[in-house]
Amino acid sequence: MAKKNLGVKIFGWLFIILNLAIISYVIFQGWKYRSIFKEMGVSGFWNFAYFFIIILTIILTIVGPIIYVIAGVGILKLRPWSRYLAIAFGILCILSLPNIGFIFGWQSYYLLDILVSFCFSALILWYFFRAKTKEQFIVERDRFRWRSWCGAAVITLLVLTAIPFLTVLGIKALLYAKYKQPFFSEPLKSIQLSAVSKSDFGTGFKERKINGLFFIIPEEFVFLRGGKDTAYYYLYGPRDDANFSGAIVIDSESPIALMRHSYGGYKKLSAYQFEKMYYSDKFAIIPLILSHLASAGKDSQVEMFNTATSKGIIKLSHREGSWICDGSLYDVNGNNVCALLFIMKDKYFSRDDIFKMIASIKTVKQSSPQEYYKKGLECFNKDNFKDADFEFANAYCLSPKNPEYSYMLAKTFYMLYKSSGDKRLLKRTEEVLKGETLALRPDYKEAKELLNLVQQEKK
């Protein structure tokens, strides 16, 4: 047997190190995607089905690198079978280049990555086909005892190379069986939303501003929860035991947009291009799963929209007497503005009302918290508690550590409760006083007195 040269040592260690890194990366990515499924609130059969597919894919994806790690050890020991596995690695690496598209999406390719992978595979094939290299792996009796095992390993690796494509077919079959979704889906529809003003709405709507966003929403809706750190803003309509008109939730970024930071190939895309890819790419595992999870439901439809100052993607469905519109808003350059969720009772609001509310949204320059607070006091002193609610909310969101702002927001909640009887407002009054105002200033006399009133009301 020939003496092992430096090239064999280098390739042996490369096989071991690179494939151990792949194993770690696959496990990490699998766990990351699983946590995002949880954040999206997926449960039941589809949670099990997708989790099973992801786990199966991870297991099968790990098998290949494990075989190659063993091949790396074999190369260092000059085992004949390891040379055949190295050659198989070079061939299958070239054949598996489309798998990036089948897994992450066809717009996630980096040309440089493809060139590097192709050149590395070609180098492996050239090196291990060389006569000088082959001589180092020839056993004394010129017999390869493990030929059948090596053949089985190569066949296994060939099957694993096809796993992403087969997984795509499996997901498509599941979607057809459950939702009759066609194999070749239609492209996303695009709608143009005209610019709107308050005159385009019926009575009962009002212009509001919250955390740098301007929009026109039902006048009866109040700010209930949010903050600068959480970036969640909940706006709720009136509610009693028999009536609930709707809710609007504003978030900084959608769960799908969070995925943009999980893979290097996504970083070249703008936030808008990224989400558009996830709803239009129907032949990639992760886009297929996430786009379905985000838009699952009876009569659910995904549409792109454009306005004069923004664009976005919305997922609209109608369930149990409510319009549910989950969407993302971007500026004209495709940069993220916010994520939106509308849950509106069809008894009070139509599909067109929701589209007009979305069309009214635009970013505006924020005032100082002191100016918002001053306006809030003016509205409060005029018993205009709904307007005061938004002014104090803006002051609080910009400066949550100021006990005066949180106290007046809580006091406004209490006054809104007194006029509406909505116990959620009473609960929020107590939460803000305990968790914000008195936590910052325990000796705040007025806050303590208001908290006592709230606790008496609850009895």
Q: In which element (H, E) is residue 65 found?
A: helix 44-76
Do 138 and 1 meet the contact criterion of CB atoms below 8 Å apart?
A: yes
CATH fold for domain 369-457:
1.25.40
pLDDT the model gives residue 438: 94
Residues of the chain with CATH 1.25.40.10: 369-457
- Tell me, what amino acid is at 286? I
The tokens of 271 are what? 């936030």
pLDDT 10s digits, 19-30 = 898 888 777 766
Phi-psi bin for 336: left (phi > 0), alpha (psi -120 to 50), beta?
Answer: beta
List CB contacts of 302: < 8 A, sequence separation 6 or more: 188, 279, 291, 295, 313, 314, 315, 316
Question: Which pLDDT band holds residue 230 (cuts at 50, 70, 90)?
Answer: very low
Question: Which pLDDT band holds residue 57 (cuts at 50, 70, 90)?
Answer: low
pTM: 0.69
CATH fold for domain 190-362:
Protein Transport Mog1p; Chain A (3.40.1000)
Nearest to 203 by CA among 222, 187, 219: 219
Do 215 and 361 meet the contact criterion of CB atoms below 8 Å apart?
A: yes
SS3 of residue 109 by DSSP: coil
| Other Cβ atoms closer than 10 A to 70 | 18
Question: Which pLDDT band holds residue 282 (cuts at 50, 70, 90)?
Answer: confident
User: Phi, psi (5° rounding) for residue 243?
Assistant: -145, 135
Residues of the chain with CATH 3.40.1000: 190-362
Do 268 and 257 meet the contact criterion of CB atoms below 8 Å apart?
A: no
Whole-angstrom distance, CA of residue 40 vs CA of residue 140: 60
Percent of the chain with pLDDT over 70: 78
pLDDT 10s digits, 408-422 = 999 999 999 888 888
Question: Which pLDDT band holds residue 444 (cuts at 50, 70, 90)?
Answer: very high
pLDDT the model gives residue 318: 84
pLDDT the model gives residue 446: 94
Question: Which pLDDT band holds residue 241 (cuts at 50, 70, 90)?
Answer: very low
Q: Which long-range contacts (CB under 8 A, 24 or more apart) does 179-188 make?
A: 179/296, 181/292, 184/282, 185/282, 187/280, 188/276, 188/279, 188/280, 188/302, 188/303, 188/304, 188/313
List CB contacts of 79: < 8 A, sequence separation 6 or more: 137, 146
Q: In which element (H, E) is residue 331 found?
A: strand 322-331
